[in-house]
Copies of this chain bind each other. A is one copy, B any other.
């Protein structure tokens, strides 16, 4: 047990350790971002981390203020042809309908159960909300976690035929590790469900549940029939963590303005604007999907992950760095 008290008599040992550990840093010459090609994007990241952690630099950021936020879908893992969580919800409709057969003849469940992709693509936002409520609420937090875990263990992405959790971008994992190794807290700030992402964020990205900000529904505390305390997920939205909801979610959960923010679409614009508006060193980056061969290339009219022409113009005007998957990433996935 550490007693938490300055052991003054042992300062010499601590100084010795600090010197020895500093020696390790000074001698490690390994590239911290091996999956990145040399270029302005890689350089911007490495230089930002160096400058903000160098006490002699005017850009130095004190350790407690080192907050870096990352969007998830399209920024740290594949989001095409459909958000992973939406795939989960659509596939869960089967399970839910087995328990509640009356849903089989009710829209939008009927359409989802038909498997008719064309009809499903036409479902409205209101339909999707009904599907989310039916598949993401009405169970305890533990039941939900267990269901998502089970699904992730077997579900596979149609293009690569691999688990969704393998479709994370190796270059972004390296960025997150580099930030953390330099005293940054890395946070997800995702439009996806906070509870959904928390299930795998620690194992897949090294981001603990308490550092996941996402769209969040309410829970309700109560007791089950056996008198055990439970938290039940209820269909009441507390935070829609997209667009203006991103800085609002950051304030709600983190309470500090990030100094670095990574996104990939119009849904991330407000997070980058908010990040940039703080004093001192700032880093704003956008992943641009321009590699149809190795991943996807989506135009400004893509239904998800929209990278509009206006966003590209804004990035240029505001000095945000655009990451070209085609040019900046030597490798996209760990399995390549």
Q: Which residues of A contact B (CB under 8 A)?
A: 1-5, 7, 10, 13-14, 16-17, 20-21, 23-25, 27-28, 30, 32, 49-50, 53-54, 64, 67, 141, 177-178, 180-182, 185, 194-195, 198, 202, 208-210, 212, 216, 218-222, 228-229, 231, 238-239, 244-245, 247-248, 251-256, 270, 273-274, 277
Q: Give the docked Cα–Cα distance between A248 and B277 (Å).
A: 32
Complex-state Cα separation, A277 to B221, whole angstroms? 13
Distance between A103 CB and nearest chain B CB, rounded to angstroms: 27
CA distance A13 to B270 in the complex (A): 45
Please, could you name 27 A-B residue pairs with CB atoms under 8 Å apart, sorted by A?
A: A1-B50, A2-B25, A3-B32, A4-B32, A4-B177, A4-B180, A5-B32, A7-B27, A10-B24, A10-B27, A13-B23, A17-B20, A185-B210, A194-B255, A195-B255, A208-B256, A209-B254, A209-B255, A210-B253, A210-B254, A210-B255, A219-B252, A220-B248, A221-B244, A221-B248, A231-B247, A231-B248
Residue of B nearest to A208 (CB): B64
Question: Could you tell me if B3 and A202 are in contact, using CB atoms closer than 8 angstroms?
Answer: no
Query: Which residues on the B side are within 8 Å of A231 (C-beta)?
Result: 247-248, 251, 274
Chain B nearest CB, measured from A324 CB (Å): 24
Q: Which residues of B contact A30 (CB under 8 A)?
A: 3, 5, 7
> When chains A and B are docked, how far (Å) is the Cα of A208 from the Cα of B255?
9
Q: How far is the CA of A67 from the CA of B211 in the complex (A)?
A: 13
CB distance from A68 to the nearest CB of B (A): 13
A218 to B273, CA, bound (A): 19
What chain B residues lie within 8 Å of A14 (beta carbons)? 21, 24
Given known pairs A210-B254, A219-B252, A228-B277, the reply for A13 and B24 (CB within 8 Å) is: yes
Q: Which 6 A-B pairs have the closest CB atoms?
A: A4-B181, A209-B255, A221-B244, A17-B17, A2-B181, A3-B32
